[in-house]
Structure 1
C-alpha cells in the first residue's frame, strides 16, 4: 500500500465483503429455518448462491425477504420465551413455586426447626 487512498479503498471493499458474508450466512440460516421449503428447493438456492452469489442473494432478499424477517422474529421470540422460562425456573418465582416454598417452610415450622416469626418472614418473602 503506497498511499492513503489504497488503504481507504481496502477498508471500503473489506466492509462490503464482510457485509456480503453476513447477508450470505443469514440467507443460509433462513433456508434451513424454513420448514415449508422442501429440501430440493433449499439445494437449488444453495447451488444458485455458489454459482451466482450476488445475483441470487439479491433475488432471495427481494423474493423471500418478508418471510425471512418473520421467521427470524419467530426464532427470537421463541428464544426469549425459553430464556424467560429458564430464568423463572432458576429464580424460584411464580405462583406454584411460592406455594412450594410456603409448604416447605410449614414443614420446617412443624418440625420445630424454625420459629413462627421466621415462618412468617419466609411466607411473606414467598408471596412477594
Structure 2
C-alpha cells in the first residue's frame, strides 16, 4: 500500500515536471518557433532524456523567466486597479490644494474657496 502511494506521488511529480518544462518552452521569448517545436518533440518522444537535457541546458533561466512574467502580471494588475479606482478622491484633491498653498502658488482665501468647492 505504501509503495503504491509513493509510486503515485512520483508519477504525479513527473507529470508536473513535464508540464512545467513544456510551459516554459512555449512561454520562452528567446526561442524561435523551430526551436520550440524541436524541444517539444524531444520532450514528447524521449520524455526522460528530453526533460533532463532541457533542465541542464535551459533550467537556470526558467526561474528568471517565471519571475519576469510574475512582475509583468503584477504591474498590469496595479495599472488596472489605478485605472479602475479613478482619478483620486476628496483627500487627494485637498492634499494637492494644501501643497499649492504651502508652495505659495495660491493664497489663504483661494485655498478656502477651493476647499469649500471640494467639500460641497
- Unmatched segments (≥5 aa) in structure 1: 1-6, 103-115, 123-128
Partner of 2:118: 119
Give me the whole-angstrom Cα distance separating, in 2, the residues matched to 1:12 and 1:64: 29
Matched, 1:35 2:35: no
Matched, 1:75 2:69: yes
Superposed CA offset, 1:44-96 (max 9, x none): 1111112210111011111101121111111010011111111222233xxxx
**Structure 2 length normalisation: TM-score?**
0.70
Count of aligned pairs: 97
For 1:54, which of 48, 71, 81 is the aligned residue? Answer: 48
RMSD: 2.3
Q: Runs of 4+ in structure 1 displaced over 4 angstroms?
A: 99-102
Residue 37 of structure 1 aligns to a residue whose secondary structure is coil
Superposed CA offset, 1:4-39 (max 9, x none): xxx211211111111111111111111111122122
**Structure 1 length normalisation: TM-score?**
0.66
- Unmatched segments (≥5 aa) in structure 2: 94-115
Give me the whole-angstrom Cα distance separating, in 1, the residues matched to 2:77 and 2:17: 26
Give me the whole-angstrom Cα distance separating, in 1, the residues matched to 2:118 and 2:66: 47
The answer to which of 71-80 and 37-46 deviates more is 37-46
Partner of 1:108: none
